[in-house]
Chain A
Amino acid sequence: MSYIPLQIDQAELERLAEDIMIEKQLVIDLDRRRNDNRVALRSLSTATAPKKSHFFAGGLFIRLPTPTVQKLLIKDQTNIDGEINRLRDSMKEHARELEALESGAGNVKRNRGFDLKGMRKEDLSSIARHPTVE
């Protein structure tokens, strides 16, 4: 009877690990799109940009005036930024759960401290820099 819980635990671990891998890949794909959007925005904002450009969305090419296309691209960028941040937080949460399952809820060593709010360099002006050894 103690054989079954072990099996469930393993499946749970694998599920969490799979989630983390999927999210990692999603972040990479989103970042690729973000960079492409950025390059597009840059080329549209130069003086030699055409008055109307083709915008690809949902399997269709739509011909729109360039300022509209720019607005759409910027909106897409902010969406992607928000999505990437959400995915990163979710990855952290899953990694924490994974470690809690692996080594017991009290022994979370690798992920300790990552739930703190980040400090920027300005805040750190009064602190020494000593990386933890773990």
Chain B
Amino acid sequence: MAATTISTQIPGGPGLADVKELTRMERIGAHSHIRGLGLDDALEARATSQGMVGQLQARKAAGVILEMIKDGKIAGRAILMAGAPGTGKTAIAMGMAQALGTDVPFTMLASSEIFSLEMSKTEALTQAFRKSIGVRIKEETELIEGEVVEVQVDRSATGAGAKTGKLTLKTTDMETIYDLGQKMIEALNKEKVSAGDVITIDKASGKITKLGRSFSRAKDYDAMGSDTRFVQCPEGELQKRKEMVHTVTLHEIDVINSRTQGFLALFSGDTGEIKSEVRDQINSKVAEWREEGKADIVPGVLFIDEVHMLDIECFSFLNRALEDDMSPVVIMASNRGITRIRGTNYTSPHGLPIDLLDRLLIITTTPYTEKEVKHILSIRCEEEDVDMTDDAKEILTKIGIETSLRYSIHLITAASLVSRKRKATEVDVEDIKRVYSLFLDEKRSVQYLKEYQQQFMFNDYTDTMEAPQAMEM
């Protein structure tokens, strides 16, 4: 569910709406109901808004951080979200990602992803850091855009001389004639430009692009190729200046420069280790662009989940990386109390060394109240398209309080399938009871295991021989 700057554009069209409907089911993730942080203009958290419920303090704190990020003036800030499991840490991170929008790079990372055979831990962390910093640049082109009225090519009388020609282009506001040289005539022939096509001629390179056919010429022919697209006749002046703003991440620039055909590596994901000389070169080039006013740095957010899984070497690296002037905002999430730091034998709060904790702003999340649990379950029911009676909601809320929030959320879809089996439209108490008995939560499962082992203790077998048999069954 990470929002990166590579945007895939889904082309609009009547047929594709159905495809989107079918795949919507797969796209409902655990946090897909979150649209933002749900804060008002004064940065006060509303009780329920934009999919977020409760956790007012944590959301307010996240809102303040968000303002700091939007200003873009801070770098190297790190935040730790600490709380019991199922208290909304990842949900708040998702809310921040949605609130920031698609322009700001937001990378989500689970700590265990760092450990891979393909690249070292520090390389993986460096890549994650650089994926979270965007560079905004503006591309400028001058081009001539218009609908072709007539293409006229004159061959000289001898037949071996240079061809000359005239191209008449028009827009809704004006029309003019261009004299063509040899190269341009060849290019037009190659693109098979005919009257009624809407074309673009790049002034710098002379490249011709066919945008489509004009609507007014749609009735010219009865039979046309299947790939003919119809576009409107362009408006305004013929010679336009087109400006496009792109946001690319430093990581993407690194990968493209690290080897030939580097942009293919971006799609395949097989980037490998990138040399530090390449990175230094990119840094100096980007700094140069900043000086010249050609580029803007957009510091983004790196969210590291389960940060207690990183080891002491990663923590030392983080200490150093956070002090870089081009560092993103790092948000970490941890649900451990005082545990051992991986890679050492020392214990520390949240599993992080104290010098790293010193650099962090810590936001705590508290467990949800019964009312909040009920509300969250209602929102999830809506998101998963499940109708539930109020009694069923009450029972589910009680289950959520006694066991865990996640377990009750998972029961929702299961209960809706059970209710469909008995041809009912709404989920009722009996459906909830049925799935509750079918699917065990963590506590009951442990209890069952203990009882199960108890059964074997009444056998005549000795203790040492019991263990393998228990595993088999």
* 15 more A-B residue pairs beyond the given contacts A34-B239, A120-B140, A129-B246, with a C-beta to C-beta distance below 8 A: A30-B237, A32-B237, A35-B174, A113-B296, A116-B138, A119-B137, A126-B253, A127-B135, A127-B256, A128-B253, A128-B266, A130-B7, A130-B248, A131-B246, A134-B102
> Is A75 engaged at the interface, CB distance under 8 Å to the other chain?
no
A57: chain B residues within 8 A (beta carbon): none
Q: What's the Cα separation between A124 and B257 when bound, in Å?
A: 12
B70: chain A residues within 8 A (beta carbon): 106
What is the 8 Å Cβ interface bit string for chain A, positions 20-41, against chain B (1 contact, 0 not)? Answer: 0000100110111011101100
Please determine whether A27 and B246 come into contact, CB atoms closer than 8 angstroms: no
Please determine whether A35 and B238 come into contact, CB atoms closer than 8 angstroms: yes
Given A32-B173, A116-B293, does the pair A133, B7 have CB atoms closer than 8 Å? Answer: yes
B389: chain A residues within 8 A (beta carbon): none
Please determine whether B139 and A130 come into contact, CB atoms closer than 8 angstroms: no
* Chain A residue at minimum C-beta to C-beta distance from B137: A119
> Is B247 engaged at the interface, CB distance under 8 Å to the other chain?
yes
Please determine whether A132 and B137 come into contact, CB atoms closer than 8 angstroms: no
- Among A42, A106, A130, the residue within 8 A (CB) of B6 is A130
Please determine whether B292 and A114 come into contact, CB atoms closer than 8 angstroms: no
Please determine whether A127 and B253 come into contact, CB atoms closer than 8 angstroms: yes
Please determine whether B246 and A121 come into contact, CB atoms closer than 8 angstroms: no
A27: chain B residues within 8 A (beta carbon): 236-237
* Number of cross-chain contacts by CB at 8 Å: 117
- Among B205, B236, B257, B285, the residue within 8 A (CB) of A28 is B236
Given A28-B173, A120-B140, does the pair A113, B248 have CB atoms closer than 8 Å? Answer: no
B22: chain A residues within 8 A (beta carbon): none
B102: chain A residues within 8 A (beta carbon): 132-134
Q: What's the Cα separation between A111 and B121 when bound, in Å?
A: 39
B282: chain A residues within 8 A (beta carbon): 126
> Is A94 engaged at the interface, CB distance under 8 Å to the other chain?
no
Given A117-B293, A133-B102, does the pair A88, B241 have CB atoms closer than 8 Å? Answer: yes
Interface centre among B5, B237, B253 (most CB of A within 10 A): B237
> Is B243 engaged at the interface, CB distance under 8 Å to the other chain?
yes
Size range of the chain B interface in the assembly: 35 or more
Q: What's the Cα separation between A42 and B164 when bound, in Å?
A: 13
B9: chain A residues within 8 A (beta carbon): 131, 133
> Is B244 engaged at the interface, CB distance under 8 Å to the other chain?
yes
* Chain A residue at minimum C-beta to C-beta distance from B256: A128
> Is B155 engaged at the interface, CB distance under 8 Å to the other chain?
no
Within 8 A of B (CB), among A87-134: 88, 106, 109, 112-114, 116-121, 123-124, 126-134
- Among B7, B204, B257, the residue within 8 A (CB) of A131 is B7
> Is B176 engaged at the interface, CB distance under 8 Å to the other chain?
yes
- Closest chain-A Cβ to B204's Cβ sits at a distance in Å of 7
> Is B263 engaged at the interface, CB distance under 8 Å to the other chain?
yes
Interface size, chain A (Cβ < 8 Å): 35
Can you list 16 A-B pairs, Cβ within 8 angstroms, ordered by A? Answer: A30-B237, A31-B237, A31-B239, A34-B239, A42-B179, A113-B136, A116-B138, A116-B293, A117-B294, A118-B140, A120-B140, A120-B204, A126-B282, A127-B135, A130-B252, A133-B9
Q: What's the Cα separation between A111 and B136 when bound, in Å?
A: 12
B256: chain A residues within 8 A (beta carbon): 126-128
In the A-B complex, list the 3 residue pairs whose CB atoms are closest, starting with the nearest. Answer: A118-B140, A31-B237, A113-B245
* Chain B residue at minimum C-beta to C-beta distance from A31: B237
A112: chain B residues within 8 A (beta carbon): 103, 136, 245
- Among A35, A38, A109, A132, the residue within 8 A (CB) of B7 is A132
Given A31-B174, A127-B256, A132-B103, does the pair A116, B266 have CB atoms closer than 8 Å? Answer: no
A30: chain B residues within 8 A (beta carbon): 237
- Closest chain-A Cβ to B431's Cβ sits at a distance in Å of 41
A130: chain B residues within 8 A (beta carbon): 5-7, 246-248, 252
- Closest chain-A Cβ to B398's Cβ sits at a distance in Å of 43
Q: What's the Cα separation between A28 and B296 when bound, in Å?
A: 32
Please determine whether A36 and B176 come into contact, CB atoms closer than 8 angstroms: yes
A88: chain B residues within 8 A (beta carbon): 241
Given A106-B70, A120-B140, A130-B6, does the pair A28, B293 have CB atoms closer than 8 Å? Answer: no
Please determine whether B176 and A128 come into contact, CB atoms closer than 8 angstroms: no
Q: What's the Cα separation between A127 and B278 when bound, in Å?
A: 14
Given A28-B174, A32-B173, A126-B256, does the pair A118, B138 have CB atoms closer than 8 Å? Answer: yes
A114: chain B residues within 8 A (beta carbon): 138, 243, 245
- Among A32, A119, A129, the residue within 8 A (CB) of B140 is A119
* Chain A residue at minimum C-beta to C-beta distance from B6: A130
* Chain A residue at minimum C-beta to C-beta distance from B67: A106
Given A39-B177, A88-B241, A121-B205, does the pair A134, B248 have CB atoms closer than 8 Å? Answer: no
* Chain B residue at minimum C-beta to C-beta distance from A42: B179
> Is B295 engaged at the interface, CB distance under 8 Å to the other chain?
yes
A34: chain B residues within 8 A (beta carbon): 239
Given A39-B176, A116-B138, A127-B256, does the pair A132, B246 have CB atoms closer than 8 Å? Answer: yes
Given A116-B138, A116-B294, A128-B253, does the pair A109, B103 have CB atoms closer than 8 Å? Answer: yes
- Closest chain-A Cβ to B215's Cβ sits at a distance in Å of 21
- Among B6, B101, B294, the residue within 8 A (CB) of A123 is B294
- Closest chain-B Cβ to A96's Cβ sits at a distance in Å of 13
- Among A32, A126, A127, A132, the residue within 8 A (CB) of B174 is A32
- Closest chain-A Cβ to B251's Cβ sits at a distance in Å of 10
